[in-house]
Amino acid sequence: MAAVLAVSLALVLQASLFDHLAVQGVVPDLVLLVVVAAGLAHGSEVGLVLGFGAGLLLDLAPPADHVAGRWALALLVVGYVAGRLAASGRPRLAQWWPLSVAAAFVGTSVFALTGLLLRDPAVGVGELLRVELVSLAWDAGLALVVVPLTLALFARVEPDRVLV
């Protein structure tokens, strides 16, 4: 329940608040970071399922118009990877921050690759790389805020389910 709330809030913020603060149209992937936090807190199974659900929302909620299922696949991988790489014990900044950045890179890459395969919008590889770099910088910065907040939310709402 807390996860659904966090994902919904991230989705709305990503679409309606951060579009005013976008750098070259690129906004931070808040939903992706929430999925990373869920994977860190609850392990790879919850990360996998929540990533699939959150990606599905990203694919279907307006103003999305790309082929549905692409973000679902990307975030599913992100949640799983985050859960597998999560260290046991209390999460330390030196552990989860590089992990979040790596997961963000994996997620945006998977999304871009499916786009290339399906030729969904016909964009060049140069454009892909540019957008990827900008979004990675955004995610690295925002991970410092979003991931601890989401972890705190999970710890407060569902302390019995947290593995760490």
Partner 1 sequence: MVDLQQRPRARPDATSGERLNRRGSLEPREPGRPRRSLVVALVLACATLMTLDHVNDGAAVDPLRRLAGEVYGPAESGMDTVVGPVLAVPHWLRSHRDLAAEVDALQSDNDRLRSQLASSDYDRNRLQEYDDLTATAESLGYALVPARVVAIGPAQSFSRTVTIDAGSRAGLVPDQTVVNGDGLVGRVLRTTATTATVLLVADADSTVGGRVGKSMKVGFLHGRGDLGQDARLDLELVDQSYVPAQGETVVTWGSQDGAPYVSGVPVGTVESVYSSLRETTQRAVITPFVDFSALDVVGVVVPSGTDSDRGVIEVDGSVR
Counting residues that bind partner 1 (by CB under 8 A) gives 61
DSSP per-residue letters across 80-100: HHHHHHPPSSSPPHHHHHHHH
CB nearer partner 1, residue 2 or residue 67:
67
Whole-angstrom distance, CA of residue 105 vs CA of residue 21: 21
CB of 153 to partner 1, least distance (A): 18
Say which amino acid occupies 34: V
**Are 37 and 152 in contact, with CB atoms under 8 Å apart?**
no
Least spacing, CB of residue 152 vs partner 1, in Å: 20
Count of other CB atoms within 10 angstroms of residue 22 = 12
Provide the binding-site residues for partner 1, judged by CB under 8 A.
8, 11-17, 19-20, 22, 24-27, 29, 42-46, 48-49, 52, 55-57, 59-73, 76, 80, 83, 108, 111-112, 114-115, 118, 120-123, 127-128, 131, 134-135, 163
